[in-house]
Structure 1
């Protein structure tokens, strides 16, 4: 894709799609954003939150990073981009739901099993991937047959979501709101190959097909 393709795409958006959302966007400019959902997903170019969930501008506050990883809470006054997004979404925007959405064929999870070498060019990537080490450890303990690497990767992708939810609860304001019922957290697994989504059932400790619920709010 060339830059000119993106420029043409913006022109097409302004002419064909923007008018559909124009009133909503003007309202959002005047009153400010009030999303009820923080969506934490992977930077993978194949993961497209607005397309796969059919949302419109203003619906979701979105954080995307390598592997949809969540660093544990660390109030050391350093630079923490992902943590800052979570903090702002919960404490300022007062979101009601946080979705941690992993996906199939995740390069970050696959990289946990590869040697990235000693190149200084990947120093930040290698440090960030440390957030997936526990997921790898849990997977290796849970999977008996490790001969099929693709099966191992798929299991790691799902287990990583559970681990990131655990990290999310290390944020004191997240834990407080979850306990009070003001905030719900969700673990989702998006299958790139068919567009379906599974959700993590904490009571059953398993992933199930995501279906519409009459009691959801």
Structure 2
């Protein structure tokens, strides 16, 4: 999209959408109260507000290459700060990690050696935060065609990032007290469907009128 189209869209927003929703934006100027932390990829083909039909103020969004979450303590990242702020300051009760079909980051992960010279920063990002996904795929799914491997990598990566998210003390605490729910989603670009991980049978299923929350990994211990 040329910058001229971006500017034209900005003008349309200001002249039409903003005017029609002025009351909403005046309300939002006094603070935010989002309902969901939505973590997804930077890919231009996925828009959290579009696919969920959410309004401004409904979602607190973190986006990066591959929808990756550094494990707690690995580095003082923007992702870590965003997670902590969303849960502690905003009181988020649901977190969605949403991957997507045809993910370029996962394509790169499956041939990561080719990235080292051409895109060293992307190489380090994937190597540091998606290596577990790569090993799961390479060690357990040898012989699968490339498209199937990519689909598996996309799914496994979302589950890996859920596990990384669970390393955060604030997340573990909220899960322990049942104040937080995690969701693992895959958005399929070509169909518009969203698939959610169903732990009962270990598969991603089409998400329609019911949710598939990721089970709380913590075992509650009763005080003696």
TM-score (norm 2): 0.88
| Structure 2 counterparts to residues 144-183 of structure 1, below 5 A | 145-146=143-144, 148-183=145-180
Q: Indicate yes or no: 2:96 matched with 1:124.
A: no
Paired with 1:52 and 1:160, the residues of 2 have a C-alpha distance of 21
Q: Is the 8 A contact 1:104 1:190 kept in 2?
A: yes
Where does the alignment leave 5 or more consecutive residues of structure 2 unmatched?
214-224
Paired with 2:43 and 2:115, the residues of 1 have a C-alpha distance of 22
Higher deviation after alignment, 161-170 or 127-136: 127-136
Shift of 1:15: 1.9
Q: Is the 8 A contact 1:21 1:57 kept in 2?
A: no
The residue aligned with 1:42 is 41
Indicate which of 73, 77, 81 corresponds to 1:80. Answer: 77
| Structure 2 counterparts to residues 64-213 of structure 1, below 5 A | 64-74=63-73, 79-114=76-111, 115-119=113-117, 122-130=119-127, 131-143=129-141, 145-146=143-144, 148-213=145-210
Paired with 1:177 and 1:83, the residues of 2 have a C-alpha distance of 16
The residue aligned with 1:17 is 17
Shift of 1:117: 4.7
Where does the alignment leave 5 or more consecutive residues of structure 1 unmatched?
none
The residue aligned with 1:62 is 61
Paired with 2:212 and 2:45, the residues of 1 have a C-alpha distance of 31
TM-score (norm 1): 0.91
Paired with 2:102 and 2:88, the residues of 1 have a C-alpha distance of 33
Higher deviation after alignment, 206-215 or 14-23: 206-215
Shift of 1:138: 1.3
Shift of 1:158: 0.4
Moved over 6 A (4+): none
Going from structure 1 to structure 2, the CA distance change for 1:196 and 1:214 (only over 3 Å counts) comes to closer
Shift of 1:213: 3.0
